[in-house]
């Protein structure tokens, strides 16, 4: 059974005993009309439990055993994390709290972050139970395997917001109820939801998901849609390997002129006992003819079929074939053009990883703040608790020569426009800031304009003072008269 048919993604409704609905009058156009689901009436968009369990087994298996599947997962991980990740906070004390969490021997984020990002792509979900020391506020993260999650519970009034996680029965024959972490007070929920969350009393947990719908949407892995085609491609490659092996095989066809069946049998037994060896010399009379026969397995355009299968999978994952050892008709210009959609997709994933880390680090700062000050911080009164910045280096090396040339031209054009009275200095700074941002330099337009305005005023004041006329200098004349 193929993975796709097991997933139940082929469009058929296989529910046994489902009621068949027909029109009040007339007949159905299609006799198996009742076997299909209405596109506008299906609100269960998430994978059903059996299909999800299958996905959670198939996806890691493909990552381990299928070369294309492995690369579909590993390339994003490499582009996102190969150069490391940085976090910062303007408050030095909060930065020290975050360092203690990041470098803690249990959390060890420098090593574990790569696994977390990889498994987010494989499973589409990540669950991190968080244990908080109530005296010190120190946070330690654990890991809950998505395969051990029975259900994610969403807010009854807001199906986009997860509020709790229920596990399957664990090794101790107990199921756990975790409360999904939010960086805010419980008062942000309705009273009904607050009461619901009180039932999740086994601890707090981070829940992150990708490839999910807004309404009651749990995530699914990046390989879910490609699973069957990845398996098909693997079978195709193995089949081609077997065909190549068969093409190297041959057999001897021996014709005996005028021989009856006993003579043929006798000669066959003689040849079987002493078959010709490789590179040997075969000697026979004119009554015997030896012919080497090789198979003619004309299986069509193997290379074309291989590209068809592979490009179908890569297109779904938004990867260029040139990233997967296909150098056909690729040069630097169109290679960069084909890479842009991929980099946009990776940038979206990078933004989500930044959000994940900011949520975790904000929670760490909140717990330390509450332990120290005994009250919940607010964004208005304690903004630094919520203002941790997470940054990644550029995923690719930029061609800065274009931007360097552009910024020079923009500066000259802005200076001319300001001189002619066609542009304000603030707009000029904004234009320069746009180009500088491409070079990885962030310019605060408001602060720069304030600084420039102050410098301009100081310069005007200094020029005005130097040009002030105070009367003729008669000191030299007085000296001449005394002499």
Q: What is the pTM of this model?
A: 0.70
Bridging pattern class, strands 149-155 and 139-141: unpaired
Which residues pair with residue 130 across a beta bridge? Answer: 141, 204
Q: What is the SS3 assignment for 32?
A: coil
Write out the chain's pLDDT in tens, 483 residues. 454 444 544 444 444 444 444 444 444 445 554 554 444 444 567 788 888 999 999 999 999 999 899 999 999 999 899 889 999 999 999 999 999 999 999 999 999 999 999 999 999 999 999 999 999 999 999 999 999 999 999 999 999 999 999 999 999 999 999 999 999 999 999 999 999 999 999 999 999 999 999 988 899 999 998 888 888 888 887 777 777 776 667 777 888 888 888 888 888 888 888 888 777 787 777 788 888 777 666 655 677 777 778 888 888 888 877 777 665 666 555 556 667 788 889 999 999 999 999 999 999 999 999 999 999 999 999 999 999 999 988 776 555 667 777 888 888 898 898 888 888 888 888 888 888 877 767 788 888 888 887 777 777 777 666 655 555 555 555 555 555
How many beta carbons lie within 10 A of that of residue 69, not counting itself?
A: 27
- List Cβ neighbours of 214 (8 Å cut-off, separation of 6 or more): 159, 160
Return d(Cα 356, Cα 51) in angstroms, integer: 26
CA–CA distance, 384 with 340 (Å, rounded to integer): 35
Q: Give the C-alpha separation, 207 to 143, whole Å.
A: 11
Q: Are 203 and 31 in contact (CB under 8 A)?
A: no
Q: Which residue has the tokens 């717990």?
A: 367
* Distance in angstroms (rounded) separating the CA atoms of residues 456 and 82: 45
- Beta-bridged to residue 158, according to DSSP, are 155
Token pair 């410098």 is found at 455
On whether the CB atoms of residues 203 and 195 are closer than 8 A, the answer is no
Give which of 314, 445, 348, 339 is closest to 398, Cα–Cα: 339
Q: How far apart are the first and last CA of the chain?
A: 120
Cα–Cα distance for residue pair 112/142, rounded to 1 Å? 11
């Amino acid at each position: 059974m193929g993975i796709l048919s097991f997933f139940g993604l082929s469009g058929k409704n296989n529910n046994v005993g489902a009621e068949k609905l027909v029109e009040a009058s007339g007949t159905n156009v299609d006799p198996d009309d009742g076997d299909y689901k209405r596109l506008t009436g299906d609100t269960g968009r998430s994978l059903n439990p059996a299909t999800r369990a299958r996905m959670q087994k198939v996806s890691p298996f493909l990552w381990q055993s299928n070369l294309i599947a492995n690369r579909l997962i590993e390339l994003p991980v490499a582009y996102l994390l190969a150069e490391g990740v940085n976090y910062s906070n303007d408050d030095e004390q909060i930065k020290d709290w975050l360092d203690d969490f990041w470098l803690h021997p249990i959390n060890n984020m420098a090593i574990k972050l790569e696994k977390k990002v990889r498994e987010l792509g494989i499973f589409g979900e990540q669950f991190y139970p968080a244990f908080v020391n109530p005296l010190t506020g120190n946070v330690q993260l654990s890991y809950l395997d998505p395969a051990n999650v029975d259900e994610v519970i969403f807010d009854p009034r807001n199906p986009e917001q997860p509020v709790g996680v229920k596990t399957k029965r664990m090794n101790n024959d107990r199921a756990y109820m975790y409360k999904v972490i939010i960086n805010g007070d419980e008062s942000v929920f309705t009273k009904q939801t607050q009461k619901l969350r009180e039932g999740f009393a086994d601890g707090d947990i981070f829940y992150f998901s990708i490839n999910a719908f807004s309404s009651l949407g749990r995530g699914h892995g990046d390989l879910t849609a490609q699973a069957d085609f990845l398996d098909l491609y693997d079978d195709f490659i193995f089949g081609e390997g077997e065909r190549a092996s068969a093409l190297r095989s041959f057999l001897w066809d021996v014709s005996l002129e005028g021989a009856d069946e006993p003579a043929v049998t006798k000669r066959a037994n003689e040849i079987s006992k002493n078959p010709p060896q490789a590179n040997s010399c075969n000697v026979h009379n004119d009554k015997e003819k030896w012919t080497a026969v090789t198979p003619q397995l004309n299986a069509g355009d193997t290379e074309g079929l291989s590209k068809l299968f592979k490009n179908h999978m890569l297109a779904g994952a938004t990867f260029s074939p040139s990233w997967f050892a296909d150098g056909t008709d690729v040069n630097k210009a169109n290679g960069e053009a084909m890479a842009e959609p991929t980099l946009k997709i990776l940038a979206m994933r990078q933004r989500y990883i930044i959000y994940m880390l900011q949520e975790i680090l904000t929670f760490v700062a909140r717990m330390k703040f509450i332990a120290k000050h005994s009250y919940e911080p607010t964004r208005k009164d304690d903004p630094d608790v919520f203002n941790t910045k997470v940054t990644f280096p550029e995923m690719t090396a930029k061609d800065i020569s274009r931007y360097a040339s552009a910024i020079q031209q923009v500066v000259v054009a802005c200076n001319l426009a300001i001189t002619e009275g066609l542009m304000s200095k603030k707009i000029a700074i904004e234009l320069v800031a746009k180009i500088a941002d491409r070079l990885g330099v962030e310019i605060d337009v408001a602060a720069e304009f304030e600084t420039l305005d102050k410098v301009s005023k100081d310069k005007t004041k200094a020029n005005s003072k130097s040009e002030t006329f105070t009367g003729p200098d008669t000191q030299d004349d007085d000296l001449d008269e005394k002499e």
